[in-house]
Structure formats: structure tokens, C-alpha cells
Structure 1
Amino acid sequence: MKTFYNKLFNRYDKNIELVPTSERRKVMGKFEKDAKSLIDLVGGKDNIAAVTHCATRMRFVLNDPKKANQPAIEELDAVRGIFTNAGQFQVIIGNEVPSFYQEFVSLAGIEGGSKEDVKAVAKQNQKFFQRAITVLAEIFTPLLPAIIVGGLILGFRNVLEAVPMGWLDGKTITESSVFWNGVNSFLWLPGEAIFHFLPVGITWSITRKMKTTEILGIVLGITLVSPQLLNAYAVNSTTAAEIAQNWTWDFGFFTMEKIGYQAQVIPAMLAGFLLVYLERFFRKHIPEAVSMIFVPFFSLIPTILAAHLILGPIGWHIGSAISTVVNAGLTSSVNWLFGAVFGALYAPLVITGLHHTTLAIDSQLIADFKSTNLWPMICLSNIAQGAAVLAVVFAHRGNKKEEQVSVPSVISAWLGVTEPAMFGINLKYMYPFVAAMIGSGLAGMFVTIFGVRAFSIGVGGLPGILAIMPKYYLIFAIGMMIAIVVPFLLTLIFRRTGLFNKIDRVGEAISPIDATLEPTVAPVTVVDEDIYAPLNGQLFPLSHAVDPVFSQGTMGQGMVIEPTEGSVYAPVTGVISLLFPSKHAIGLIDDQGVEILIHVGMDTVNLNGAHFTALVKQGDHVTRGQKLLAFDLEAIQAAGYQTQTPVIITNSGEYQVDPVLETGTVAKEQAIMHVQSRN
């Protein structure tokens, strides 16, 4: 294995011949200084509980993370950035990380571990609360696309049926148009499927996350929302006598109410986890020859019984209690304080991952009160983060390198996805992040004082106004203006005065983003060429990437493709410079010296090569359009991994990189980027 890694990132001369062995030793040795420094800066060998690497970064689990000297680590020449996630201290190196890793473990005199080993150690270092939040995030993240589109649908229906139009003599659109009335009625079909049947998605997601039988999770969810049950929304309007007479199972020696759990979160989660642990238990104790029959039966039937007899009622009361407390706080005499604190602190919650808890609370508020007073503040927080980045764009106007990250980040934040804005810009400078928190807090306080409520969730940023109840449109619009103007002005003021700002005072400092993009190797030739699509699929800007290491441009500039088939083709003519053992990432150096990384999926390194087939090997010279990799798209997705594929120019600091297409459907050998040498 060590021999393989020694070869993994060979350099090529201009004739595309492999560098001699003696030269490869020099390449390996070039990281010796930084590797030695990194050992000391992470707290020494004794502070390293485990270490491994993926295609772009070193992944550490440290015994005491506080011993890591993060500012000094970021100053190392080989380091492009650092961040902590899921108990792992991650140091971004780039596509030469295998060579750096081998140098590091050799100098440290330690054995590297597998990805699963490091993840296991990382979980041990997490506190129970951190583990619980991680699990909650992993349950709700796969549901977000449906929740977002559901929010858009309900928002559009809100405009159609609930907003009187002056140009229609005070009538709504549905009252004035047969066509739009039909559209409104039809759109209830997907809206109901997403929100009323949310327990089905939750129980499926739990079995998917815990790697048990997903179809059993789906069946369990259906039994919680079956039409044979009294709809959860009708429970409060149904008398106890009527429930006892018409909505009860009578087993002779006991009875059980036929109550549905539409839109209920906690009952579905409790039932889902019980199903998982019962299946794991019976799979261990039932012989494999009959497990196909008895494991599903003994797992599913007791869970359904427990869900309706015990877990459902308990979960219902817990969820109602939480939503009642939150709603009371936001409608009390001190609601302004609650709104200001939550509005200001929501962005830091995103960094920690705690913001995923608000999805469950929002869903419960809607189930209990038919609306939520929490979601409006979340929308305003997204808007505030985007406004702070917009101020940075204005202050640094003309900085083309930074605009490649900052401009897409503004758009992304104002459409509800704030990670590129926060990780790519605001947290690097810090003063825009503080300005956004203040603006978000003021906007949250304002809308809370006026009792603004949303009837659905999922629509963040500027489109969030669609989810707001019509009578609050004007108040929420004013709140949006506060969330834009205040962060924008405060960002400029903090930059000029130096408040919360030590690295970007006017006339004193160089943008740290510029530093991460500075070229480390001079271009060997004049480049003026197109980079072609390596996959068939849907093209998006790099800011669309779910991994902030890619979305914020840390690895370089590029695009993202959502593949529609499992084939990777050469985007240029050149040499295969990287082929990971897991086959999930492949790198090329073209004949002009442009370095390209194609990273198939997110965290697919954990598959250890399963569902991937390499059709080339490292050192092969390939022509544009030649098939390089094959992968099973459906199997990877079924295993719980995203197949979103960043296509990165890893030495983009040497070139001007411009998209040929911003978004749209692309096919192999269709130009997606243009690369040109800087003057």
C-alpha cells in the first residue's frame, strides 16, 4: 500500500513522461517541513487519537482539540484551510494529500487508520448531546428537498387562495379563475403527500441512516398515517365518546385508539428507532436460513403495536409540550427578547449543526397551531448572512478571485442555503458574520413583536415570504429590509473601524481568500482552452456543492454536476495523475498543465471502491471523451450517499476560470468552463 501511495501523485514533465524515481523522492520530501510542523501544531504525536485522509484533506481525531494551534496551522504553505466536523479535525491539503499523509505518518511514527476507524474514534470523542444532534441532522437532511418543494407549493397556493387582489375587486385568484382554482386544488396533492405523510419519510430516513431494512421503515410510516385511522388534524374536534365508539380497536381485554399521526415528528422518530433496534436484535438471534421471514415479522408487528399503544401517545404529548413552550415564549410579553436572541444565534447554530432541531420544532408547531412563529426568523437569518457577503463584495469590488466565491454565496444565501456564505466569506473575516448576527437579531425581534407566523416551512431566504401568512406580508417585508440594510451597513462600518476585524482593515491587509488562491507554481505555458463535461447530468455553480470545502472554492474553482448516468469521461486530453484506491476521485493534468479533479459523490470514499469500476490507471495518457470510470448510480444512492460531483480546477490560482454555462443539462464533451492564463 505504501508503494502505491508513493506513486499516487507523480509529477509529469512537459512531454508527459513519468518523473524518475529519484525525482519522486524529492517530491515526497517537499512536504517534510510542513508535515513536521503540523505534528507539533496539532499537539504532538500523543495528541493524535487517529488520522487518515480522503481525496482532499487530512482527517484527525485529537485527544484534546484545544491543543491544536489553528492560526499557525492555517499559515503552513501546504494547508488550504481547516475546519472541525463530526468530531474530526480536518486539515485541507488539496489533491496532493496522499503524499503529504505518507510524509506525515512516517515522520510521526504512527499508523494511519481507515475512514471507518477514524469516524468511530470521532464518535467516542463526541458527547451524547453532540451524537444526538448528528443523528437528528442525518435523519432530516435527506428530507429537506421534499420539505423545501412542499413549502414552495404551499406558498404558491397561499397566494392563489388567500390573498385578495385589488385588480380582481378584492377577490382571490381562485375565486376569479376556474383554471387557477383547478391548479390550486391539484397542488394540494403533492403538498399533502409531503407534510401530512411526513412520518413515512422520517421512519424511512431512520432505517436508512441506521442501515436496516428501508422498506420496513416505509411500511411502519404508512401504518402511522393510514386512512383507516382518525386523522391527527381531526382529533381535537372529535369527542372522546365518538373516538371510543368509532375509532377504537377492541381486543377484548384491552382497547387501543385508532389515532393517526399525520405531520407528527416525535412519534415517528420513537417508532423508527424501536423498529431499528428490534431488527438488529432479531437479526443476531434468528438463524439466517429463516431470517427473511421472521426478522421482518417480529420487528414490524411489535413496533406497530407499541407505536399506537405507547410510543405514539407519549411522543404526541412530548411534541405538544415542546411546541407549546416555544409558542408561549414567542407570544409572551417578553417575546421581543426571545426573537432577538434566536434571530442573532441561529447562524451559530448552523455552524454547530444544532439548527436541525428547529426543523422538528417547526413541524410540531405547524401540527399543533397550524402555523409557526419560528420559521420567519430563520428566513431572516439567511437573508442577513447574504447581505453581509454583499457588503464584502461591495468593499472588495474589483477582486475577481474573491467574487468567484462571494457573488454565488450571496445568491445561495438569499435562496435559503447559507453555508457557502458563512464558511466561504463571513467566518473567514468574522466581522461580516457578527454584522449579520446583529441584523438578524433586530429583524427577528421586529417580526416577533408583530406576531409574524408562517403556515409552512422549507422556503428560506427571500422566497420565504411565500410561506408567511398574507396578513403579515408587509411586516415581514419590513423585516427583510432590516435583515438586508443593517448587516450591509454594519459590515462596512466594522471593516473601516476595525471592530471585530483584525485582518481586513481598510488599507492594512490582504484578503485571506486571496491568499488561499495564490498560485504556488508558475504556469508552464500560455493556456486558452475549454474544459468539457465529464458526465451527463445537470450542471450547477460550485456554490451548489453540499460540502463547504468545495462550495467555498477552497479546492479551486469549478462546477458541480448531478449525474444522470454512471460514467465519467475525460474532460481534456492529458494524463491520469490521481486514481484513488476507492475509485471515487480521479485527477488529470492536461497537455497545457491544467489540473482537474473529478470527485464523484460526497463521502463516497467510505464505500471503499464498492459500486465503482476504474477503466484506466494512474499514469495513462487519455484523450478527451474517453471513458475513465463507471459507477452504479442507483446503488450509491441506495447506500445513502449523494452522487453530486464537483469538477474542480485545482490549480485555478494560475488561471482565469469562467463558466461557459451557469446551469442546465449537459452531456459529455460539452464545454462547461473556459480556462485562460492570467496576463
Structure 2
Amino acid sequence: MSNYTQPAKELLEHVGGSENISVVTHCATRMRFVLNDPKKADVEKIEALKLVKGTFTQAGQFQVIIGNEVSSFYNEFIKMAGVNDTSKDQAKEAAKQNMNLLQRMIAHLADIFTPLIPAIVVGGLILGFRNIIGDIKMFEDGTKTLVEISQFWAGTHAFLWLIGEAIFHFLPVGITWAVARKMGATPILGIVLGITLVSPQLLNAYGVAGATEVPFWDFGFAKIDMIGYQAQVIPAILAGLLLSYLELKLRKIVPNAISMIVVPFFALVPTVLIAHTVLGPIGWQIGSFISDVVYSGLTSAFGWLFAAIFGFAYAPLVITGLHHMTNAIDLQLMSELGGTNLWPMIALSNIAQGSAVLAMIYINRKNEEEKQVSIPAAISCYLGVTEPAMFGINLKYGFPFLAAMIGSLVAGVISVGSNVMANSIGVGGLPGILSIQPQHMLTFAIAMIAAVVIPFILTVVFAKTGVAKVSFKRK
């Protein structure tokens, strides 16, 4: 008998049995259930299982934190439950039956941007490194940069822009691919559509403001400006959605014998035309408006208030899944301003959650069983993965979660009050400082210290005094 046989049997019983499981899959640390009746899951009994580190519900899925052994446990569980192995995409689709309209919209947005995040993180690190060697005057009495005194680093600086440009300037290609993939359209058509938005034939989006003359296509009866949409997010999303809509509709009405020829042509050509005449200009205006509102809010006289609210509320947003909206806003800020002052607060919130767990490790330092959960959770949190810390420790006790929210509030105010900007989305924890623009690194480091110290102290104080011992756990 496997070491997981009994825990698997008990978990199956407490989730309501096989008949209550619509879909089950797993990720790196969690079992993900789509339950026919979520109310049948006995959360208290599930969390009492020795193997379980915590539970939460997100995006229509009931998730059980197991840890690094989740893969082996999952294999034993599905054999006992008599359910088939399921892909994550199937699980996400099944989970939508438990979502409201807003949750579905957020889930779609997350599915679009999640595949792009690894590239964006790499791009942010590259831009940060280029700024350090190319912009900071550290040599010859503070008069020259590393690039100016070394041909090797000058070559490195130029070479790395090849990757940075590919990631950020040509971001619409990734977005239209991701939209097409998400909607069930043909991904290569999404890629082609994206390329038509950033083609070298077009006037670069960054050069539009200073251009004396805008090139155009002349059709005799009409002229269309040849403007590119480099780094633009919303035009790419709108174009990708239109392409997917046309392709999926055409598939239903075009006979199979000619669909290979007709569908791609009549989906792609009209989409490219409409993208450059309608969707592109409208999307650009919408994106500019959003970025202007967010940036103005963060840099206004009341920016500290915005920062305080966002810093305090970001962790609860993670619980609901609404935090996925920030990816689109960050990318829009980057395209308009060359950086984002929103993302640094996200990194600080993650650090604060890890610091609250660190305090719980200190408080429960004699509890060997809990340290098996808390130590890995703190490490992963400091590296940008907050779920094990939040759901395994902080929400379980309540007061560490509140302490982290307060620490995040203070750190966010420091960051925004000092106009800290990041090059892009990065690793959302301690390594996040590598994505911060060089001139703001010192101030961000101070904000990081606040995000470490304040939650730690508050968690210890709350534990010793009994203050704020409330439960944030979602039933």
C-alpha cells in the first residue's frame, strides 16, 4: 500500500466522493478540483489532513495545497477516485461553470497574459541590467558608465537590446497569438496578425509624435495611415478577438472542402484592415486613457492614498483572482511611459506576505510539523510565488495576513511617494529589485526593508497581544 493511499482515501471522502468531482488536475504544489457541488467539500476535515497545507477557492476551482509531493499524491488519488487524468486547460474550462461574468472575464485575461509572463520577466531583467551598465556613471569619479569605458560591455549592451526589443516592441505578436490560442482560433494566424501590427514597413509607434509626415496606403478613394502598434496592448487584444471571432464563425458556415483556403483568407484580411482603420486607433486611445489615469493617480497629490489602498488591498485581490488585471495595466504603462510604477507595489506586497510567514516561523519555531509548511512557503514567497504562504499560513491564522497588508501599505507609500519605476514586470519578490530602474533602486531597497520589518514586527506583536486574531479564510 502506498504512503498516499490513506490520505487519498480521506481526501476523496471529504471532497464529497467521486460523484462530486467534475474535473481534477494539479500544478506544482496544489490539487485543483472543479466540484459539482462545492458545498459538499468539508474544508475543516480536509485541512486537518496531515498531508494538506491549506485550501482555497479561486477561479471556480477548489484548490488543496499539498506541496512538492503533489504529483505522486495526485496519481494515487485519481486511481482511487476512478477519475481520468485531465489537462489544466480542461480544468479551467470546466471551472467556468462556477464563475460569474466578472470572474470569467478575469480568467480570460489571465489566460491571455500568463503564457507571456516568462518572456516579460526576462525582458525586465535585461532592461534593468542594460540600464545599470549603460546609464549609471560609476567610474572615473562618476563621469562615465561601464559601457563608456569597456568595449566588451558596450557590445553586450547593444546585443542585449536584440532580446529586449523582441520582447517589448513586438509584444503585440505574443498577445495576438495568445488570444487566438485561448479562443480556439489558429495560432499561426494570430502570429501573422501581430506581425502586421509591428511590421518595419509601418511608422514606429514611438516615432508618431515627432513625425513630420505619416506614410499611408492610398486606395484612391481612401487613405489609411501606416502606423505601427509596437508595445501596444489593447489594440492587439481587440485585433486578436476579432480574428478569432471571424475564424470561428467562418468555420461553421464554410464547407470543409474549401475551408482551408476560404477561412484563413476571409478571417485574416478583414481583421488586418479593421485593425489599422478602427481597432488600432480606438485601442490606442483606450490604452492611453487607462495609463494616464493610473499614472496621474499615482503621481498626484493623492498618490500616497492610491498607494496605501492598493498596497493594502493587493493581497485580497490575489484571493479573488482580480490581480490578473494589473498585468494589462503594467504593460500599457510600459508602452506609454517606458516603465511602470504599479508593479513595484506588487513585488513589495509579495515580500510583505513572506515576512509575515517568517515571523510565524519564529513564533512557532518549536513546531517542527508547521515548519515543514512555513519554511518552503516563506522561500517561495520571497521569490514571487505567494499562494503557499498566503493560503498555507497567513490566512490560516488571519493576523499574519493583516500584518502583511499593513506592511505592504507602508512600503507602497514609500515606493509611490518616491516615484519608483520598474522597467517591466519582474520576479515579484526580493529579486524584483533587479527590474527597478537604476536611479530608483536605493529607494526601492528602503521600501523592501519596510516590507520585511513591519510585517515581521506586527505579526509578533499581534501574536503576543492577541490583537487582530481574526480569520480571513474563505469558506
TM-score, normalised with respect to structure 1: 0.62
The residue correspondences of 1:524-673 to structure 2 (distance < 5 A) are none
Residue type at the aligned position of 1:252? G
Instruction: Measure the CA separation in 2 of the matches of 1:491 and 1:123.
Output: 36
Secondary structure of 1:342's counterpart equals helix
Aligned to 2:240: 272
Question: What is the deviation of 1:58?
Answer: 8.0
Following the alignment from structure 1 to structure 2, what is the Cα–Cα distance between the partners of residues 77 and 366?
A: 45
> What letter corresponds to residue 380 of structure 1 in structure 2?
L
Q: Distance in 1 between matches of 2:317 and 2:189?
A: 33
Code of the residue aligned with 1:201 in structure 2: it is: G
For 2:97 and 2:132, the matched residues in 1 are separated by 49
Pair 1:139-2:112 in alignment: yes
Provide the residue aligned with 2:310 in structure 1.
Answer: 342
Counterpart for residue 179 of structure 1: 152
Q: TM (normalized to structure 2)?
A: 0.86
SS of residue matched to 2:361: helix
User: Pick from 430, 433, 457: which aligns with 1:462?
Assistant: 430
String of CA shifts for 1:59-96, please: whole Å, max 9, x gaps.
34456x57866335534789775332321335679555
- Per the alignment, residue 70 of structure 2 pairs with none
Q: Would you say the 8 A contact 2:297–2:303 is kept in 1?
A: yes
Deviation at 1:453, TM superposition (A): 1.9
- Give the Cα separation in 2 of the matches to 1:307 and 1:388: 47
Q: Partners in 1 of 2:348 and 2:407 — Cα distance?
A: 9
Q: Which amino acid aligns with 1:304?
A: V
Distance across 2 between alignment mates of 1:432 and 1:218: 45
* TM alignment of 1:312-327, pairs within 5 A: 312-327=280-295
Which residue in 2 is equivalent to 1:302? 270
C-alpha displacement of 1:140: 0.8
Alpha-carbon distance change, 99 to 148 in structure 1, aligned in 2, over 3 angstroms: closer
Whether 1:328 and 2:299 are equivalent positions in the alignment is no
Amino acid at match of 2:176: T
Measure how far apart 1:260 and its partner are. 0.5
The CA deviation string for residues 248-301 of structure 1, in whole angstroms up to 9 with x for no partner, is 111111111111111100000011111111111111111212221111111111
Q: Which of 417, 427, 433 in structure 1 is aligned with 2:401?
A: 433
Q: Residue 177 and residue 38 in structure 1: after superposition, are their counterparts in 2 closer, same or farther (change >3 A)?
A: closer
**2:222 matched residue in structure 1:** 254
Contact 1:339–1:441 under 8 Å retained in 2: yes
CA RMSD in angstroms comes to: 3.2
Question: Where does the alignment leave 5 or more consecutive residues of structure 2 unmatched?
Answer: 67-72
Structure-2 separation of matches of 1:92 and 1:414: 18
Residues 1:454 and 1:133: Cα distance change in structure 2 (over 3 Å): same
Q: Which structure shows the higher helix fraction? A: 2
Supply the distance in 1 between the matched residues of 2:316 and 2:270 (Cα, whole angstroms): 41
1:354 deviates by 1.6
**Contact in 1 for aligned 2:53/2:373 (Cα 8 Å):** no
Cα displacement (A) at 1:308: 0.6
Which of residues 59, 68, 79 in structure 1 aligns to 2:33? 59
Q: What is the Cα deviation at residue 326 of structure 1?
A: 0.5
1:148 to 121, 131, 155: 121
Equivalent-residue separation in structure 2 for 1:159 and 1:329 (angstroms): 28
Q: Which residue of 1 aligns with 2:133?
A: 160
Measure the CA separation in 2 of the matches of 1:314 and 1:477: 39
Deviations 1:478-530 (A, max 9, x none): 11111111011111112222333379xxxxxxxxxxxxxxxxxxxxxxxxxxx
Structure 1 residues 92 and 189: alpha-carbon distance in aligned structure 2, compared to 1, 3 A threshold:
closer
Deviation at 1:407, TM superposition (A): 2.9
Task: Pick the aligned partner of 1:415 from 369, 383, 389.
Answer: 383
Moved more, 54-63 or 132-141: 54-63
For 1:120 and 1:303, the matched residues in 2 are separated by 27
Q: What is the match of residue 178 of structure 2?
A: 205
Unpaired segments of 5 or more residues in structure 1? 1-10, 14-26, 103-111, 504-679
Q: Which amino acid aligns with 2:410?
A: L
Q: What is the letter of the counterpart of residue 358 of structure 1?
A: T
Contact 2:349 2:405 in 1 (8 A): yes
Amino acid at match of 2:451: A
> Residues 289-333 of structure 1: CA distance to partner in whole angstroms, max 9, x if unpaired?
222111111111111111111111111111111111111111111
- The total of aligned residue pairs comes to 457
The one of 79, 103, 126 equivalent to 1:130 is 103
Deviations 1:360-405 (CA, angstroms, capped at 9, x unpaired): 1111112112222111211211221222222222223354444444
Residues 60, 78 of structure 1: CA spacing in aligned structure 2 closer, same or farther, 3 A cutoff? farther
**Distance of aligned partners of 1:298 and 1:400 in 2 relative to their CA distance in 1, 3 Å threshold:** same
On the 8 A contact 2:205/2:230 being kept in 1, the answer is yes
* Higher normalized strand content (fraction of residues): 1
- Secondary structure at the aligned position of 1:355 is classed as helix
Q: What CA deviation, in whole Å up to 9, does each residue of 1:553-611 have, x standing for no partner?
A: xxxxxxxxxxxxxxxxxxxxxxxxxxxxxxxxxxxxxxxxxxxxxxxxxxxxxxxxxxx
Amino acid of the structure 2 residue aligned with 1:210: M
2:467 corresponding residue in structure 1? 499
CA contact (8 A) 1:34 1:77 kept: no
Deviation at 1:473, TM superposition (A): 2.5
How many Å separate the matches in 2 of 1:251 and 1:466? 49
Q: Which has the higher contact order (CA 8 A, sep 6+)?
A: 2
In 1, Cα distance between equivalents of 2:385 and 2:11: 35
Do the aligned partners of residues 455 and 113 (structure 1) sit closer, same or farther apart at CA in structure 2, a change above 3 Å counting?
closer
